Amino acid sequence: MSTASSVLLQFLELITALIAAPLLTGWVNQCRAWLGNRSAPPLTQFYRQLAKLFEKEVVLAGNASSLFRAAPYIIFACMVLASTIVPTLSTDLPFGPAADAIALVGIFALARVFTALAGMDIGTAFGTLGARREMLIGFLAEPALLMVFFTTSLISQSTSLSTIVETLGQREFAIYPSLAFAGVAFTMVSLAENARIPVDNPTTHLELTMIHEAMILEYSGRHLALIEWAAALKLYAYSCLGLALFFPWGIPEGTGIFNLLVALPSLAFKLAIGGFLLAAIETVSAKLRIFRAPEFLGTAFILSVLAMLVHLLLEAPK
């Protein structure tokens, strides 16, 4: 294990995440536009938006506290850290041992808490409303996400993401009903966590139905740019996590240049398909009433618990 090259790879993974996250969001928006029979914005639209927002000056409310100014940086840092922990280009990452799957859930929770606090900081009605809804969704989604991780951890006997991905990638072909259940549960959770359509509409302009958007209504300029970028990174991290756990083929263990040549195109290919499927799900489903969201996430929780039980009953070595 050569440390220098794995550090380089870790750095490369960080750069890839920062560059690819806006591209992924742009791709999903493009697919949504195509499926909705509209003319699509260019793939680079998100970059332009970020550049525009970084140039604009920040307008702060009179009673904004320092927490309001600090929150975008904390949220952005959380998402950057999360996307460096998830193995995308290699499983041999120096950051890997720093945080396992459970700590990753904690990082997402930290970002959520700060988004909610910043939403309530100014004291507008919409910010508070969004924060409350976000915490409702979060506290229902988190146990389901943890149960998904526990199922994969039981299969691979480790909570470290690198080990999980390595073990799942190397196994010989076998039908795992538990992984299928966990995959469906994970998809439902990531739809809810990324403010996607069955739970929240990312492109809505109607404040009363907003969840994520309502919390960030007061932000402008570079703060808004950082938050938007963090949201794109979150979507990227969740997509990579899903791909790494349920379609781990193509993630090499070594750090050689040749491995990278395999890893990058396979990642791009899988993300493109995943993004298209996400857009397809969003196009065919309608937004749920907010009071139906607990039922949606309850189903995800039940599925993930069933995944664990089915694993213990059917697949555990006797």
Does residue 37 touch another protein according to CB under 8 A?
no
Nearer to another protein, 19 or 316 (CB): 316
Nearer to another protein, 106 or 177 (CB): 177
The residue with tokens 């009903």 is 177
Within a 13 Å sphere around the CA of 302, how many CA atoms are in the beta-carbon half?
A: 6
CB of 253 to another protein, least distance (A): 12
Using only C-alpha atoms, the chain has a radius of gyration, in whole angstroms, of 19
Residue 99: CB atoms within 10 A of its CB come to: 19
Long-range contacts of 276-282 (CB under 8 A, 24+ apart): 276/27, 276/31, 278/28, 278/31, 278/191, 278/196, 278/239, 279/28, 279/29, 279/31, 279/32, 279/34, 279/35, 280/31, 280/35, 281/187, 281/191, 281/196, 281/197, 281/198, 282/32, 282/196, 282/197
Does residue 136 touch another protein according to CB under 8 A?
no
CB of 212 to another protein, least distance (A): 24
Does residue 155 touch another protein according to CB under 8 A?
yes
CB of 218 to another protein, least distance (A): 34
Nearer to another protein, 75 or 297 (CB): 297
Does residue 317 touch another protein according to CB under 8 A?
yes
Does residue 306 touch another protein according to CB under 8 A?
yes
Q: Which of 157, 203, 286, 291 binds another protein (CB under 8 A)?
A: 157
CB of 178 to another protein, least distance (A): 8
Residues from 175 through 204 that contact another protein (CB under 8 A):
175, 177-178, 180-181
Pattern 45-84, binding to another protein, x per CB under 8 A? ----------------------------------------
Does residue 159 touch another protein according to CB under 8 A?
no
Nearer to another protein, 175 or 284 (CB): 175
Does residue 97 touch another protein according to CB under 8 A?
no
Nearer to another protein, 219 or 296 (CB): 296
Q: How far apart are CA 186 and CA 237, in angstroms?
A: 13
Nearer to another protein, 154 or 260 (CB): 154
Residues from 274 through 303 that contact another protein (CB under 8 A):
294-295, 298-299, 302-303
> Coil, helix or strand for 210?
coil
| Listed residue (28, 13, 48) closest to 237, CA to CA | 13
Does residue 172 touch another protein according to CB under 8 A?
yes
Q: How far apart are CA 227 and CA 233, in angstroms?
A: 10
- CB within 8 Å of 200: residues ≥ 6 apart: 137, 192, 210, 211, 212, 213, 287
Residues 186 and 18: beta-carbon distance below 8 Å: no
- List contacts with another protein (CB under 8 A): 155-158, 163, 167, 170-172, 174-175, 177-178, 180-181, 294-295, 298-299, 302-303, 305-306, 309-310, 312-315, 317
